[in-house]
């Protein structure tokens, strides 16, 4: 099953033409996850051809408005659509109180239930959402206020049984094939013990994605990014503005690329660009000098976590990628 992420907003605190506030959608089959929900996220969902009714969970990083102020509108719209399915919302403790204060969003007024998962500043690694197919974990980052980063990871699938190898070892019963594939040893009619590792070809690990913003470079950011297929890491400034990055607790493109390199990420998407840069070109050039497999995230463009051989990634649905402001 193909899993992809779609940037809906790649700008930082100040609005600019062509960049929107922070939000990323992750689509896996019929599942849709939303990481951050800045102002205008609903328009991004519409332009990307993503149905807001498919959203299963929303993961908020912190209480700065450019990552949060679209949530109230999204919840209001889902209420107007008479949503019935429960929605999970993960974010810093206090988010539930904030939502309940908004007119029309109190639990007794909505047509659907919200399951809130609260994150505390002293948390370590925390599993915050899980299905039969994947998990999402959170870790605290290093921002000016408490902020969390997230890691999506598909669960390992059962390996493929080498039937011929099993037959050579004396396994001929269909039920025993099933047992071996599910990880259980079997005993053949001839009395031989056959273990799964002898005849089951391990499946490759599931795909993974890390969402690391807003933060200074930190160990938890590196741990979230460890070995992921795609890392989205904020790159608000260039090294020429590193002093400003230090003051605001953000990262430079060089620092984001260093995290990707040191974490062994396969691919880096940078974003959360400061409004001072008219295009992402200088940030992308700086990052690629450290980690070549870097792209500046394009809004509405789907990025596959793993690209099958011969498959060409396409522009976003509903109008294509917004691209850099000019």
Catalytic residue among 36, 66, 229, 324: 66
In a domain, residue 9? The reply is yes
Is 173 a known active-site residue?
Answer: no
In a domain, residue 252? The reply is yes
Residue corresponding to tokens 């400034």: 237
Closest CA to 37 of 50, 26, 23, 47: 23
153 with 282, same domain: the answer is: yes
Per-residue pLDDT reduced to its tens digit, 102-126: 988 887 788 999 999 999 999 999 9
Bigger pLDDT: 318 vs 302: 302
140 with 43, same domain: the answer is: yes
214 with 289, same domain: the answer is: yes
215 with 286, same domain: the answer is: yes
In a domain, residue 323? The reply is no
**Predicted confidence (pLDDT) at residue 319 exceeds the cutoff of 90:** no
What lies within 8 Å, CB to CB, of 204 at 6+ separation is: none
46 with 148, same domain: the answer is: yes
In a domain, residue 119? The reply is yes
Domain that holds residue 137: 3-157+205-304
d(C-alpha 85, C-alpha 187), whole Å:
46
131 with 213, same domain: the answer is: yes
Instruction: Using the Cα atoms of residue 88, residue 91, residue 94 and residue 95 in order, give the sign of their dihedral.
Output: negative
Closest CA to 48 of 26, 68, 15: 26
In a domain, residue 164? The reply is yes
137 with 100, same domain: the answer is: yes
Q: How many domains does the chain have?
A: 2
167 with 295, same domain: the answer is: no
Per-residue pLDDT reduced to its tens digit, 131-163: 999 999 999 999 999 999 999 999 987 778 889
In a domain, residue 324? The reply is no
92 with 215, same domain: the answer is: yes
177 with 229, same domain: the answer is: no
So what's the pLDDT on residue 86?
96
For residues 40 and 15, the answer to whether their CB atoms sit within 8 Å is no
At residue 21, φ and ψ (nearest 5 deg) are: -75, 160
**Predicted confidence (pLDDT) at residue 292 exceeds the cutoff of 60:** yes
In a domain, residue 146? The reply is yes
């Amino acid at each position: 099953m193909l899993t992809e992420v779609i940037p809906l907003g790649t700008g930082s605190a100040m609005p600019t033409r062509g960049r929107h506030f922070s939000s990323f959608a992750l689509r896996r089959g019929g599942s849709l996850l939303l990481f951050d929900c800045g102002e205008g996220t609903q328009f991004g969902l519409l332009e990307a051809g993503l149905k807001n009714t498919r959203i299963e969970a929303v993961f908020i990083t912190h209480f700065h408005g450019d990552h949060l102020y679209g949530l109230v509108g999204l919840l209001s719209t889902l209420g107007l659509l008479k949503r019935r399915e429960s929605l999970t919302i993960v974010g810093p403790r206090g988010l539930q109180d904030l939502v309940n204060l908004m007119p029309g969003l109190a639990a007794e007024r909505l047509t659907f239930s919200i399951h809130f998962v609260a994150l505390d500043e002293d948390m370590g690694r925390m599993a915050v959402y899980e299905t039969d197919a994947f998990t999402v974990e959170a870790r605290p980052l290093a921002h000016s206020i408490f902020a969390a980063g997230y890691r999506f990871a598909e669960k390992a699938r059962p390996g493929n049984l080498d039937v011929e190898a099993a037959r050579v070892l004396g396994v001929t019963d269909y039920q025993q094939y099933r047992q071996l594939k599910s990880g259980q040893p079997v005993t053949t009619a001839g009395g031989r013990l056959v273990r799964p590792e002898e005849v089951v070809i391990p499946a490759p690990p599931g795909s993974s994605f890390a969402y690391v913003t807003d933060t200074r470079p930190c160990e938890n950011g590196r741990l979230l990014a460890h070995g992921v297929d795609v890392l989205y890491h904020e790159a608000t400034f260039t090294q020429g503005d590193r002093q400003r990055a230090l003051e605001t607790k953000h990262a430079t493109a060089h620092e984001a690329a260093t995290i990707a390199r040191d974490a062994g990420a396969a691919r880096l998407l940078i974003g959360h660009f400061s409004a001072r840069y008219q295009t992402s070109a200088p940030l992308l050039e700086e990052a690629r000098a450290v980690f070549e497999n870097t792209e500046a995230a394009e809004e509405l463009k789907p990025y596959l976590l793993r690209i099958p051989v011969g498959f060409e990634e396409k522009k976003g649905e509903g109008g294509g990628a917004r691209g850099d402001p000019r």
